[in-house]
Amino acid sequence: MRYITMSGNIHGQYLEAEVQSADTVKLAALLYRGALEAVQAARRHLQNGDIRERSRRITQAYEILHELLRALNHEAGGEISRNLAELYFYMQNRILEANAQQSDPPLAEVESLLQTLMDAWKAVPSAAAHAAETTEYVPISCSY
């Protein structure tokens, strides 16, 4: 995942461990979180007039959305996958528009959309949790 910079600090090490041990649902939630944090940072840098950092964070959000788009399985996902693809394209266009116009409303809109998507993904049970819930307890017999 080239959009996540792993550094030597504790946060970078924690994030790297979290990504490496994550299932598909968790990875999607991490990507949404990364995109959301990038958009929030872009908004702060826009407000502070830091053009270079704002552009860097918008690029980061754009690349994460691109990875989410590439990860879609249109055969298995059907209409949901197509709708998500359209939404990801829309958000990419909005953040590019925000960057070109140095405007906050498109970033605010994308932040809201990403928050909604992230909240929805957090509600999806992970594969491990789902397996634990569906596994039936069978006591072991100790008698011969």
Q: Where residue 116 sits, what CATH number does that domain have? A: 1.20.120.340
5 in a structural domain: no
H-type alpha helices, 72-103: 74-101
Flag whether pLDDT at 116 surpasses 80: yes
134 has pLDDT over 60: no
Identify which has the larger pLDDT, 112 or 18.
112
Phi, psi of 8 (to 5 degrees): -80, -5
The Cβ of residue 86 has, within 10 Å, a number of other Cβ atoms equal to 11
Longest Cα–Cα distance in the chain: 78
Number of domains in the chain: 1
Q: φ, ψ for residue 143 (rounded to 5)?
A: -90, 150
3: in domain: no
Whether 75 shows a pLDDT value over 80: the answer reads yes
Tell me if 140 is assigned to some domain: no
Q: Which residue has the higher pLDDT, 128 or 105?
A: 105
Residue 67 belongs to a domain? yes
Structure tokens at 117: 């998507």
The whole-angstrom separation of Cα 22 and Cα 4 is 15
Range of the domain at 15: 10-134
**Structure tokens given for 133:** 């819930």
19 or 109, greater pLDDT: 109
Tell me if 26 is assigned to some domain: yes
- Cα gap 14→19, rounded to integer Å: 9
